[in-house]
């Protein structure tokens, strides 16, 4: 907001300064150089010798009415302004300067028959050439130049090739006053335009690269790049001096790109509007071809008069219609598509249209404005579009961080990790969640209610996973798959996964308590966690990538989630997770199982709480269970039953203890074979 206010303030100052003319008493006791006091002679270069010989005292001089200058179509133009002024003797000790505003034509300024300033003339000669330099200046008036308390004669000779601009603001004041005035005048008329051109070039390069970085799939970035580039070239004649042989080339360049900048802006608006989807490519192709033809028509002209005539024609048949479409398209998009992002573009278009039309009409009338409105309007336009694209990118970032934590996205960018096909073997921790009896639950619910409750459920889980720097791989029906340790490596990935699992269950219990009070059906969630090597990377094909993990570790994690059904538990982790996190959490060894699809047995553990998250009594009960499990593996059924019964005595709803007691009773009646190794085989997911 501060930047916008500063730009608005500078733009306001520029508008005010562009309208200021002499006529104010800058120094008390000094006659101002009012334009009403000037006389003007209009003729040809051949008249100069005659004027000099007569000390610029010819009857052809007339009172200057501040209007446009007479223009000879052959370019042989010569005008002389003269006035008289007096300064009080009180200012002899002052450092005075002559201030002259922006002047876009060769000029010679004489004071009391002494030449004090030349611009746009060849060195060592008085031969003129056209110049693109339009800068305010202050000219020191040294001792001896001014006659105090007497009449002073000021002569201004101008040699325009084609320009018909009126005499700009001119005055005499102390050095410091004029120095500051020159600085601010040039700041608002030249330096800011040059800075805007430089900014336009940087923006063009950046978004041209962004277009390719996005796989050439978002033309908005390409059109904005060309718009910024065109804007930079459209005013390349401002603030520079150049020889006549390059002048026509530069005039062609500026006029052509003034035209093209409007064209690329229209293309950007069409691409952003969401309109004309089926015919957009054809419309754009035709318009681009038309733009090239119009720009080429300007480029083939031979002289400045012809260029201005051509530009005047293009103003009527190209730029004005293009600007009208730049207004119509956003309005249509806002009404039909509710494209409210087009509102700032519409507002900016109105500013650009007004400024461009003002400058174009001046140029088409063969008049060089003292102040250009369009560069500042286009600078404002570039800033607005840049802000829109940044907002869109930040929205994409916000959407992306729903799947990957924001700091991981930043690290990916900082590490320059690209989205290319391929992957690598890496140790990660994978987590699976699933809802118990989900199908039977949703059969009794309205579809809208199912979607609504699932969204709340997924949000509760996903926020915790992302907070623990996990990567959400996918949602599979009512299940969630996530992993830790990629794309940015982390040493404690197993611990973070366990932390997330406990937090998920705790958060869901709070959520389901609220649901129960509202009469909603709560979900029972099971979680499985396993650490192991996986293939992680971008899989798919070059146009559609999915950053995911594959491998046996994923299958084990899914099987661990499913085996919760057997033991009536909520979170089961593998032996590999336990080995990494045994010092950080409370676990209970549940059993030794061979998971579905695997032959070898492995220990599985119930993840209970954070370290010291349970009381001494609960720890003792869990120790009874693990002691009973030890006797179970030793086939000492009576001792095992003793400990499992003790667990049930103190914790009647302990499903694993009830399960193991049932097995002990069964094996006590029908002992297993000698080859029995205590491994339970998972038969269902």
Residue 155's nearest CA partner among 54, 40, 60 is 40
Q: Residue 98: CB partners within 8 Å, gap ≥ 6?
A: 109, 111, 116, 117, 138, 139, 141, 154, 170, 171, 172, 178
The answer on 213 and 125 residing in a single domain is no
Do 248 and 206 lie in one domain? The reply is yes
**Best CA proximity match to 566, nearest among 649, 441, 433, 684:** 684
Q: Tell me the C-alpha to C-alpha distance, in Å, between residue 56 and each of 39, 497, 500.
A: 11, 93, 92
Comparing CA positions, the residue from 53, 55, 112 lying closest to residue 85 is: 112
Closest by Cα among 535, 532, 533 to 424: 535
Domain assignment present for residue 161? The answer is: yes
In-domain check, residue 516: yes
Look at 407 and 303; give whichever has higher pLDDT.
Answer: 303
Distant-in-sequence, close-in-space partners of 461: CB < 8 Å, separation ≥ 6: 433, 480, 504, 507, 508, 525
Q: Is residue 588 part of a domain?
A: no
Q: Which two tokens stand for residue 231?
A: 């804007």
Strand 137-140: give its sheet, edge to edge: 137-140, 96-100, 170-174
At 322, give phi and psi (nearest 5°): -65, -40
Domain-embedded: residue 407? no
Give the residues across from 483 on adjacent strands.
Answer: 430, 471
pLDDT digits (tens, 9 = 90+) for 463-515: 999 889 898 888 888 899 999 998 778 889 999 999 999 999 999 888 888 88
Residue 135 confidence (pLDDT) above 60: yes
Let me know whether 155 and 277 are in one domain. Answer: no
384 and 484 assigned to the same domain: no
In the numeric block, the tokens 């699992």 are attached to 501
Same domain, 60 and 14: yes
pLDDT at 370: 55
Total count of domains within the chain: 4
Tell me: do 555 and 619 sit in the same domain.
no
Residue found by looking up tokens 């720097």 in the block: 469
Taking only the tens place, the pLDDT of each residue in 307-365 is 888 988 998 899 889 888 888 888 888 888 777 778 888 888 888 778 877 776 765 55
Angle separating helix axes 374-400 and 406-414, nearest 10 degrees: 120
- Residue 202's CATH number: 1.20.1070
pLDDT score recorded for residue 365: 58
Q: Residue 428: give its domain's CATH number.
A: 3.30.70.1230
Q: Is residue 439 part of a domain?
A: yes
Distance between CA atoms of 29 and 332, rounded to whole angstroms?
61
Is there a single domain that holds both residue 143 and residue 179? yes
CB count, 10 Å around CB of 30? Answer: 20
What's the Rg (C-alpha) of the chain?
Answer: 41
In a domain, 572, yes or no: yes
- Does 236 share its domain with 347? yes
Please give the angle made by the CA atoms of 264, 270 and 271, to the nearest 5 degrees: 90
Question: Last residue of some domain: 149, 184, 219?
Answer: 184
Q: What CATH number is given to the structural domain containing 141?
A: 2.60.120.260
Tell whether the model's pLDDT for residue 419 goes beyond 80.
no
The tally of CA atoms less than 13 A away on the side-chain side of residue 389 is: 22
Cα atoms in the 13 Å half-sphere on the side-chain side of 3: 5
Whether residue 487 is preceded by a cis peptide bond, meaning omega within 30 degrees of 0, is yes
Tell whether 222 is covered by a domain: yes
Instruction: Confirm whether 259 is domain-assigned.
Output: yes
Give the dihedral of Cα atoms 210, 215, 217, 221; nearest 10 deg. 10
493 lies in the same domain as 566 = yes
Residues 110 and 221 in one domain: no
Do 209 and 300 have their domain in common?
yes
- Structural domain of 455: 418-583+601-608
Quick one: average pLDDT of 409-430?
68
Q: What is the spatial distance between Cα 275 and Cα 184, in angstroms, rounded to a whole number?
A: 44
Q: Are residues 501 and 563 in the same domain?
A: yes
In the 8-state DSSP scheme, what is residue 142? -
Last residue of a domain, one of 184, 205, 238: 184
End-to-end CA distance of the chain: give it in Å, rounded: 57
Residue 129 has pLDDT above 70, yes or no: no
pLDDT band at 386 (very low <50, low <70, confident <90, very high): confident
Answer with the one of 608, 642, 674 that is the final residue of a domain.
608
**pLDDT for residue 619 is more than 50:** yes
């Amino acid at each position: 907001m501060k930047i916008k206010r500063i730009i608005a303030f500078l733009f306001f100052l520029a508008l005010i300064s562009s309208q200021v003319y002499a006529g104010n008493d800058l120094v008390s006791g000094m006659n101002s150089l009012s334009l009403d006091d000037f006389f003007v002679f209009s003729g040809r270069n051949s008249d100069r010798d005659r004027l000099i010989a007569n000390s610029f005292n010819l009857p052809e001089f007339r009172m200057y009415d501040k209007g446009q200058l007479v223009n000879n179509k052959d370019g042989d133009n010569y005008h002389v302004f003269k006035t008289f002024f007096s300064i009080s003797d009180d200012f002899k000790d002052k450092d005075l300067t002559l201030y002259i505003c922006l002047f876009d034509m060769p000029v010679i300024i004489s004071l009391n028959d002494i030449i004090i300033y030349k611009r746009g003339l060849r060195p060592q000669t008085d031969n003129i050439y056209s110049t693109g330099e339009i800068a305010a200046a202050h000219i020191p008036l040294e001792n001896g130049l001014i006659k105090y308390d007497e009449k002073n004669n000021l002569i201004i000779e101008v040699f325009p090739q084609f320009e018909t601009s009126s005499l700009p603001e001119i005055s005499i004041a102390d050095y410091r006053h004029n120095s500051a005035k020159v600085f601010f005048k040039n700041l608002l008329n030249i330096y800011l335009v040059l800075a805007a051109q430089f900014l336009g070039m940087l923006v063009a390069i950046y978004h041209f690269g962004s277009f390719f970085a996005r796989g050439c799939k978002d033309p908005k970035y390409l059109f904005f790049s060309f718009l910024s580039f065109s804007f930079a070239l459209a005013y390349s004649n401002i603030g520079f001096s150049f020889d006549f042989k390059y002048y026509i080339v530069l005039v062609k360049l500026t006029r052509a790109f003034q035209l093209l900048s409007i064209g690329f802006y229209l293309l950007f608006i069409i691409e952003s509007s969401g309109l004309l989807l089926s015919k957009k490519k054809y419309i754009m192709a035709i318009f681009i071809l038309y733009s090239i033809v119009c720009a080429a028509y300007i480029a083939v002209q031979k002289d400045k008069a012809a260029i201005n005539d051509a530009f005047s024609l293009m103003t009527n048949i190209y730029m004005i219609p293009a600007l009208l479409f730049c207004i119509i398209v956003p309005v249509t998009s806002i009404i039909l598509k509710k494209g409210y992002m087009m509102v700032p573009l519409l507002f900016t278009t109105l500013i650009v249209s007004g400024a461009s039309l003002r400058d174009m009409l001046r140029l088409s009338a063969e008049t060089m404005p003292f102040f250009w409105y369009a560069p500042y309007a286009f600078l404002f336009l570039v800033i607005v579009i840049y802000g829109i694209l940044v907002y869109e990118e930040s929205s994409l970032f916000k959407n992306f961080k729903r799947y990957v934590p924001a700091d991981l996205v930043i690290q990916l960018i900082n590490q320059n990790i690209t989205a290319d096909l391929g992957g690598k073997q890496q140790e990660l921790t994978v987590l699976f969640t699933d809802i118990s009896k989900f199908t039977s639950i949703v059969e009794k619910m309205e579809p809208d209610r199912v979607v609504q409750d699932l969204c709340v459920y997924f949000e509760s889980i996903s926020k915790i996973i992302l907070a623990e720097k996990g990567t959400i791989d996918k949602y599979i029906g009512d299940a969630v798959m996530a992993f830790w340790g990629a794309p940015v490596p982390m040493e404690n990935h197993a611990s973070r996964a366990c932390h997330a699992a406990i937090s998920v269950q705790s958060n869901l219990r709070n959520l389901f308590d609220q649901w129960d009070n509202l009469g909603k059906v709560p979900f029972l969630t099971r979680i499985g966690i396993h650490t192991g090597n996986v293939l992680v990377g971008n899989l798919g094909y070059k146009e559609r990538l999915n950053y995911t993990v594959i491998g046996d570790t994923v299958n084990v994690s899914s099987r661990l989630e499913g085996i919760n059904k057997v033991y009536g538990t909520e979170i089961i982790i593998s032996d590999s997770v336990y080995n990494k996190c045994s010092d950080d959490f409370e676990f209970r060894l549940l059993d030794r199982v061979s998971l579905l699809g695997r032959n070898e047995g492995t220990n599985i553990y119930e993840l209970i709480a954070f370290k010291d998250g349970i009381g001494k009594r609960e720890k003792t009960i869990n120790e009874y269970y693990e002691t009973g499990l030890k006797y179970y593996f030793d086939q000492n059924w009576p001792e095992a039953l003793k400990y499992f019964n003790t667990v049930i005595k103190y914790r009647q709803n302990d499903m694993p203890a009830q399960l193991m007691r049932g097995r002990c009773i069964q094996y006590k009646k029908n002992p297993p074979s000698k080859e029995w190794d205590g491994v339970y085989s998972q038969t269902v997911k």
